[in-house]
Chain A
Amino acid sequence: MSILKDISFKFDTGKTNLVIGQSGSGKSVLTKCIVGLHDVDHGQVLYDGRDMQSMSNRKRKTIFKEIGMLFQGSALFDSMTVEENVIFPLSMFSNMTRDEMRDRANFCLKRVEIFNKNNLYPSETSGGMQKRIAIARAIALNPRYLFCDEPNSGLDPKTAIVIDNLIQDITKEYDMTTVVITHDMNSVLEIGENIMFLYEGENYWQGDRKSIVSTESKAVNDFVYASKFMRDFKKRMV
């Protein structure tokens, strides 16, 4: 059974690229294929022209080092403190001294506005903080590509917007290629610069946050205007 069909899409550098769609549309599978956690049966995943599928594991590792990923559940290592979590990729893949790693970790934590939490364990922090710590860990090695799987799931609307804006700011600041997987319309309207709408495993529509509210596509409209509030809003706009 094929889950994804004929998907061809280019994620732009320096922009927040969104992959949206209903639950079960193949968003998470697509992300796992892109980052190499699943192998694809056909086709190519190109990182600036480098085909990940045809690479040896050793060469893949060089791409992995250029990838930062924010998981839906944060995926922080619960046996490590906040600071140790951020230091971890540095300790594995850099030649920094202990003090340099600590300085870099503190810089990343400050960038995501986490202060004085270095010695806490992830379970001692809130959901929003965990997401920000995970972002700090993801950017510790200055990645070229940042993947965020449902970055604001389980967060209140205010914190969700803070996380969305943080992702967008970091993308511009470090000129990264950021891909955000979401089904949250607030995120779409807040940071959607380059959007791919997945429907039944296919790249059904693409555009930006302005064009998504005015598209004639039924499947996209069913998704965007799923709530009564949005339908009423559309009627008033018309």
Chain B
Amino acid sequence: MLGGAFSRPDKLKVFWKRCVDEVMNLGVNSMGIVFIISIFMGMVITIQTASNIDSELIPKYTVGFTARQTIVLEFSPTIISLILAGIVGSRISSELGSMRVTEQIDALEIMGVNSKNYLVLPKILGFMFILPFIIIYSMVLGLFGGWVVGMASGIISSADYIYGLQYWFEPFSIFYALIKTVLFAFIIASVSSYYGYYVKGGSLEVGKASTKAVIWSSIAILFVNYLVTQLLLID
């Protein structure tokens, strides 16, 4: 499928518009759920960390430091991507699957349009473009959620939390997170497109394809997460 998708578009202007549409459909429309999840997870991570540090020997700013490391290294890039594998993956798979069973993909082919290039490639490129922005947005919201709950509950002062966020910060962690994110976006869009594009049958099969797309995208994300972490973080 990818061989057919990664080819020269029939018309660049139309292709460009399709990419922008997919950025909106797959990315911008996911911002709401990412907002809610990130804020609340940031709050919970901060409370959990604070409640598990009861030694006077451990400085308070460790709460901010731990929240930052957890959110930047794993929560935002991996957990949000897994959640989006469910939301965006099932959306891609069911959209393409419905187009297949209602002969819309056949209609494109008969017109002489490269349907893989027209339908699949904009989804892959659009999602690979927008997911890093979503993940940065999630990181900011998660850290903000932690600050809010720290202030509201009094478990950590603003100064300690912010100091913790800045403490021993390595810009490479952001690079590592974004590298993972781009790979996850490719996995989600391509695996889901594959299951949707090759659906045979009716609405029942479209549903099954969506489920398979989510399962295999999630497994692939977890596996690639392990590989990338091993490669980039272990010297």
Residues of A with Cβ closer than 8 Å to B?
A: 35-37, 60-62, 64-65, 67, 69, 71-73, 75-78, 88-89, 91-93, 147
Contacts and interface: CB of A to CB of B under 8 A. Distances in A.
Contacts of B104: 75-78
Contacts of A76: 104
Which one of B11, B98, B109, B111 has the greatest number of beta carbons of chain A within 10 Å? B111
Interface in B82-111: 98, 102-104, 106-107, 109-111
Q: Considering the complex of A and B, which 3 residue pairs feature the smallest CB-CB distances, nearest first?
A: A64-B112, A75-B103, A75-B107
A72 B101 CA distance: 12
B110 A92 contact: no
A108 to B, nearest CB: 14
Contacts of B14: 91-92
Given A73-B103, A77-B104, A35 B11 contact: no
A93 B102 contact: no
Interface in B106-139: 106-107, 109-113
A75 B106 contact: yes
Q: Which of B10, B98, B107 has the most CB of A within 10 A?
A: B107
B16 to A, nearest CB: 12
Contact of B106 (A71, A77, A93): A71
Q: How large is the interface on B (under 10, 10 to 19, 20 to 34, 35 or more residues)?
A: 10 to 19
A135 B144 CA distance: 55
Where chain A touches its partner, the secondary structure class is mixed
Contacts of B107: 69, 71, 75, 77
Contact of A89 (B103, B109, B111): B111
B102 A75 contact: yes
Given A64-B110, A67-B110, A71-B103, 13 more contacts: A35-B110, A62-B112, A64-B109, A69-B110, A75-B102, A75-B106, A76-B104, A77-B104, A77-B107, A78-B104, A93-B10, A93-B111, A93-B112
Contact of B110 (A37, A78, A88, A91): A37
Contacts of A92: 10-11, 14, 111-113
B112 to A, nearest CB: 3
Nearest to A35: B110
B78 to A, nearest CB: 31
Contacts of A88: 111
B112 A37 contact: no
Contacts of B11: 91-92
A77 B113 CA distance: 14
A71 B103 CA distance: 7
Contacts of B103: 71-73, 75
Contacts of A35: 110
5 contacts: A75-B102, A75-B103, A75-B106, A78-B102, A92-B10
Contacts of B111: 64-65, 88-89, 92-93
B172 to A, nearest CB: 41
A65 B104 CA distance: 16
Nearest to B13: A91
Contacts of B106: 37, 71, 75
A10 B93 CA distance: 40
